[in-house]
Amino acid sequence: MQSIDKKYVYINTIGCQMNVYDSEQMIQHLEPMGYTASPSFEKADLIIVNTCTIRAKAEQKAFSFLGRLAKIKEKKPDMIIGVGGCIAQQEGRNILERAPFLDLVFGTHAIQRLPKHIEKITSKRCRIVDVEMASEIEELEFEKSIIPMQSAEGVSRFVTIMRGCDNYCTYCMVPYVRGREMSRDPEIIVKEARMLVASGVKEIFLLGQNVNSYGKKEGLCSFHELLSRINGIEGLLRIRFTTSHPKDLTEDLMRSFADLDRLCHHIHLPVQSGSNDVLKRMNRRYTKEVYIEKINQIRNICPEIAITSDIIVGFPGETENDFKQTLELLQLIEYDGLFAFQYSDRPNASASGFPNKISETIKQDRLNELLEFQGRITKKRNRALIGTIQEVLVEGFSKKETKNSPARKDPDYQLTGRTSTNKIVNFVCDDTSMNYRTMIGQIASVRIEKAFPHSLWGKLDRIDLTLTKIKGEESYAA
Ligand code: SAH
Ligand code: SF4
Ligand code: F3S
CATH class for the domain made up of 7-130: alpha beta
Under a CB-based contact definition with an 8 Å cutoff, are residues 126 and 4 in contact? no
Nearest ligand by distance to the CA of 54 = 3
105, exposed or middle or buried, with CB in 10 Å at 0-12, 13-18, 19+? Answer: buried
Nearest ligand by distance to the CA of 163 = 3
SS3 state at 429: coil
Sheet of 238-242, strand order: 156-160, 203-207, 238-242
Q: CA 397 → CA 12, 202, 386, 439, distances in Å?
A: 24, 16, 22, 10
- Residue 439, pLDDT score: 86
**pLDDT-wise least confident of 72-81, 375-384, 432-441, 455-464:** 432-441
pLDDT band at 244 (very low <50, low <70, confident <90, very high): very high
Q: CA 320 → CA 315, 317, 348, distances in Å?
A: 11, 10, 27
User: Does the beta carbon of 16 sit less than 6 angstroms from any atom of ligand 3?
Assistant: yes
User: Does the beta carbon of 15 sit less than 6 angstroms from any atom of ligand 3?
Assistant: yes
Spell out a b/e string for 75-100, using b for 16 or more CB atoms within 10 Å of the CB, else e: eeeebbbbbbbbbbbbbbeebbeebe
Preceding amide of 243 cis, omega within 30: yes
Q: Is the pLDDT score of 437 beyond 80?
A: no
Under a CB-based contact definition with an 8 Å cutoff, are residues 63 and 97 in contact? no
- Rounded to two decimals, what is the model's pTM? 0.93
CATH superfamily name and code, 389-475: Nucleic acid-binding proteins (2.40.50.140)
Give the residue-averaged pLDDT of 118-133: 94
CATH of span 139-383:
3.80.30.20
Please determine whether the domains at 139-383 and 389-475 fall in the same fold group of CATH: no
pLDDT band at 275 (very low <50, low <70, confident <90, very high): very high
Give the residue-averaged pLDDT of 326-355: 97
Q: What is the DSSP letter of 336?
A: S
Under a CB-based contact definition with an 8 Å cutoff, are residues 164 and 180 in contact? yes
- Could you state, in order of their start, the residue ranges of all structural domains in the chain? 7-130, 139-383, 389-475
**Cα dihedral: 386, 387, 389, 390 (round 10):** 0
* Nearest-atom index, ligand 3, CA of 87: 4
User: Does the beta carbon of 242 sit less than 6 angstroms from any atom of ligand 3?
Assistant: no
- Residue 234, pLDDT score: 96
- Residue 152, pLDDT score: 65
* Nearest-atom index, ligand 2, CA of 172: 1
Give the residue-averaged pLDDT of 407-430: 81
Interval 366-408: pLDDT, tens: 999 999 999 999 999 999 999 999 999 999 988 654 444 444 4
User: Do the bridges between strand 104-106 and strand 128-130 make them parallel or antiparallel, or are there none, so unpaired?
Assistant: parallel
User: Atom 3 (ligand 3): residue with closest C-alpha?
Assistant: 16
Measured CA to CA, the distance from residue 296 to residue 287 in angstroms comes to 14
pLDDT band at 124 (very low <50, low <70, confident <90, very high): confident
Give the residue-averaged pLDDT of 341-368: 98
- State the number of CA atoms in the 13 A half-sphere of 138 facing the CB: 12
Mean pLDDT score across all residues of the chain = 90
Interval 171-180: pLDDT, tens: 999 999 999 9
Centre of ligand 1 to C-alpha 205, Å, is 19
pLDDT band at 190 (very low <50, low <70, confident <90, very high): very high
Contacts of 286-291 with C-beta under 8 Å, sequence gap 24+, read: 286/246, 286/247, 288/325, 288/329, 290/246, 290/247, 291/246
Measured CA to CA, the distance from residue 314 to residue 282 in angstroms comes to 12
Under a CB-based contact definition with an 8 Å cutoff, are residues 434 and 356 in contact? no
